[in-house]
Amino acid sequence: MTKQLAFSVDIAKCTGCKACQIACKDKNNLPIGVRWRRVFQYEGGEWIKQDGQMIPGNVYAYTVSAACMHCENPICMDVCPAAAISKRADGIVLIDQDKCIGCRYCSWACPYGAPQFNEDLGVMTKCNMCVDLVDKGERPACVESCPYRAMDFGPLDELRQKHGIFAAPAPLPDSNLTRPSVVYRPNRVTKSSGDTSGKLKNLEEL
Amino acid sequence: MNIREWALLIFSILGQLAAGMLLVLLIVRAGVVRKVGVEKAAQLTNPPLYMVLLIMILALLASLFHLGKLAHVIGAVPNLGTSWLSREVVAAVAFVVVLAVYALLLWRKIGSEGLQSIIGWITALIGLFLVYCTGVVYLLPAQPAWNTLATPVTFFVTALLLGVLGAATALMLNYAKLQKKDAALQEFVKNTLQWIAVAAIILLGIEFLVLPIYLAYLSTQGTAALQTLNLLVGSYGATLALRLLLVFAGAGVLAAYLYLNASIAGQEKSLATLAYSAFALVLISEILGRFLFYATHFRIGV
């Protein structure tokens, strides 16, 4: 197996502008409601009263850009009844749309919400790491579009050397479940998966 | 729930009804053969066994409505190595095919009673394996509301509960049409209804035991499971209460009456009515229960 490819996101640099999400929709021509890459806005803390005034106490907010994690253990692939999901030698997990029967079982199994049903096609679709671009030696559209250069792409071990091994910022799930191929560089307020001090604040956008 | 999810509900309920009914009817058939005779066994249990085939065909047809791309089903390669859903599909297809063979043997009177009964029991085992597969399909780590032993246990209880009462209903519908009813057959049918009633009451007890354990389990499994719990006791509280009330009325109260009335002479009409009503109430209750199963699950993560 050649080196597992992966995304990384620097949470300290991310402003939550969603250029990555839009670049993904544009590049992959996704219909309304299908978002292969999503940006989660996680907020917590509260205001405290001091000398009759409300001042922000431990208030925090940050954004997490996430797509398919092209996991080491892709549970979507294991559970697919039609063997329509495969993992390439470079670790990219792909749904074969000519094999998918549209049962949506993978969307129940994936804790990242990566496989999404395309009503027009009748099959499941998800981030393919812009495999056509990658095969030409280019980088995925989301990574290229980030105006803050918060995203990086490359072999997972190289990204880990550059950015660390953190893979589970809240609200994402515990990384032990599927071993995602991703690296997040946390900012000073980033909480870990399982945190209950904050909440997802942009549900209607997801 | 949308039409694709209703398809799953109908498939799983009918599939479990068929598996349970077949098992019960085979036990009944073995009893008639032993106590009354082979000819009467065929008269009493053949039409109900054909009904099982019909129910399973309907279940499979319903399951197709779940799919987004039906055209890809033809030629699909099953992923039997790792996918329980794949195993479930294969089990369901195998069940209906072997069931059809069994029904054909009965209908065309091919083979001896012994051979037929071997095929019948093999079919019943495939049916039970189907119920098991359907249960394991939902044991997904990302779905805490499903990822518990309660899921397969509940599915088996549903299969057996719908099975005993469905079999009683099918038997009584057919029995009403039978011409010559000798005393031995009458006695046998009453005894059958009695043990069916006892079985229904025991299964009801298991259902009422599993529910509080399940709710307690949900309260310990984190945010997604708590969302499920909140729905079950909140917005869907009335649905859950109605489900419990109906199953108690059908598998508890009516089953108790069925047991008592079956011990009194000359009550056949009322026995049939009791069996039909108990089945109808329990069927509605199980549909509501399965509705809650699909309507209240939350995935962990995002």
Cis peptide before B47 (omega within 30 of 0): no
Report pLDDT for B154.
Answer: 98
A104 with B78: Cβ contact below 8 A: no
Spell out which residues of chain B touch residue A177, defining contact as CB-CB under 8 Å: 141-142, 301
Contact, B261 vs B270, CB < 8 A?
yes
Q: Quick one: average pLDDT of A52-80?
A: 95
At A170-201, the pLDDT tens digits run 999 999 999 999 999 999 999 999 999 999 99
Half-sphere exposure of B265 (CA within 13 A, CB side): 1
Report pLDDT for B264.
Answer: 82
Q: What are the DSSP E strand ranges found in chain B?
A: none
Question: Residue B76: which of A101, A119, A173 has the nearest Cβ?
Answer: A101
Q: Quick one: average pLDDT of A4-8?
A: 98
Contact, B16 vs B157, CB < 8 A?
no
Q: How far is CA B232 from the centre of its chain?
A: 23
B78 with A105: Cβ contact below 8 A: no
Whole-complex ipTM: 0.93
Contact, A179 vs A72, CB < 8 A?
yes
Between A49 and B104, name the one with better pLDDT.
B104
- Structure tokens belonging to residue B252: 């508890």
In order of A154, B39, B58, the CA distances from B106 in angstroms are 65, 12, 20
Q: Quick one: average pLDDT of A54-60?
A: 89
Q: How far is CA B231 from the centre of its chain?
A: 26
- How far is the C-alpha of B113 from the C-alpha of B110, rounded, in Å? 9
Sign of CA dihedral B89, B95, B101, B106: negative
Report pLDDT for A1.
Answer: 55
Q: Quick one: average pLDDT of A19-46?
A: 97
For chain A, what is the total number of helices (H) and then of strands (E)? 6, 12
At A100-111, the pLDDT tens digits run 999 999 999 999
- How far is the C-alpha of B169 from the C-alpha of B192, rounded, in Å? 12
Kindly report the nearest CA distance between residue A74 and chain B, in angstroms: 12
At A111-165, the pLDDT tens digits run 999 999 999 999 999 999 999 999 999 999 999 999 999 999 999 999 999 999 9
A98 with B72: Cβ contact below 8 A: yes
Which residues in chain B come in under a pLDDT of 70?
266
- With 0-12 / 13-18 / 19 or more C-beta atoms within 10 angstroms meaning exposed / middle / buried, residue B72 is buried
Residue with tokens 């953190």: A166
